């Protein structure tokens, strides 16, 4: 355990069962600290089920709209599959942000990256490291052209980004 009690600084006997980040010497000190600690204590615990796998379970009532968990994705990829694009009337999507071309603003530059020639909505998206330092370098150096009829393009981009 090796942590000190959050209330008295004495030798801790247990941790908060919900967040495991604060230690206490007794249940009384944990109760005493609860009004202050509850604002920082986790809203959930991680559990594992043999059928469902790992997941979150609320540890207390949560107010609607409360953010309980935030995480950056390891990688993102736009939907470049023809079936999706056909459902969107044959539109193309920006390789970086995924915005369909019917949503592009008039100030956005157009349909192709200047280096790799794949769909890009703006100079900003073209220059983002997520695109410029990943698939753009590979596609440009190998002259790998964008073909909207191809399948698996999203998987290809995701594979490069991971």
Q: What is residue 131's predicted lDDT score, i.e. its pLDDT?
A: 92
Beta carbons within 8 Å of 21's beta carbon, 6+ residues apart: 15, 40, 41
Inter-residue contact 117 to 145 (CB < 8 Å): yes
Q: Could you give the CA distance from residue 109 to residue 131 in angstroms, rounded to a whole number?
A: 16
Digit-coded pLDDT (tens) for 11-67:
999 999 878 889 999 999 999 999 999 877 877 778 899 999 998 888 778 888 888
Would the pLDDT of 81 be above 60? Answer: no
Full DSSP string of 44-104: EEEEEETTTEEEEEESS---TT--------S-------HHHHHHTTT--B-TTT--BGGG-
> Which of 116, 107, 124, 105 is closest to 146 using CA atoms?
116
Q: What angle do CA 99, 100, 102 make, to 5 degrees?
A: 125
> Which of 134, 99, 136 is closest to 118 using CA atoms?
136
Q: What is residue 92's predicted lDDT score, i.e. its pLDDT?
A: 72
Full DSSP string of 117-159: -S--S-HHHHHSHHHHTTHHHHHHHTT----TT-S-HHHHHHH
Would the pLDDT of 93 be above 60? Answer: yes
- What is the pTM assigned to this prediction? 0.52
pLDDT grade for 95, boundaries at 50, 70 and 90: confident
Would the pLDDT of 89 be above 70? Answer: no
Digit-coded pLDDT (tens) for 134-144:
999 999 999 99
Q: What is residue 161's predicted lDDT score, i.e. its pLDDT?
A: 86
Residues across the chain: 162
Quick one: CA dihedral 143, 149, 152, 153, positive or negative?
positive
- Report which of residues 104 and 80 the model is more confident about: 104
Q: What is residue 153's predicted lDDT score, i.e. its pLDDT?
A: 78
Name the residue with tokens 């019917």: 102
The secondary structure element, H or E, covering residue 23 is strand 23-24
């Amino acid at each position: 355990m090796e942590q000190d009690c959050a209330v008295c600084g004495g030798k801790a006997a247990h941790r908060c069962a919900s967040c495991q980040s604060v230690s206490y010497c007794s249940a009384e000190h944990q109760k005493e600290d609860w009004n202050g600690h509850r604002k920082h204590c986790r809203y959930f615990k991680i559990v594992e089920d043999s059928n469902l796998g790992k997941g979150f379970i609320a540890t207390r009532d949560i107010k609607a709209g409360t953010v309980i968990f935030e995480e950056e994705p390891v990688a993102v990829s736009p939907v470049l599959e023809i079936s999706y694009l056909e459902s969107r009337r044959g539109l193309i999507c920006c390789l970086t942000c995924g915005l369909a071309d019917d949503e592009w603003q008039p100030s956005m530059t157009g349909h192709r990256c200047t280096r790799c020639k794949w769909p890009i909505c703006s100079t900003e998206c073209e220059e983002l490291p997520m695109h410029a330092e990943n698939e753009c370098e590979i596609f440009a150096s190998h002259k790998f052209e964008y073909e909207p009829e191809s399948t698996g393009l999203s998987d290809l981009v995701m594979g490069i980004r991971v």
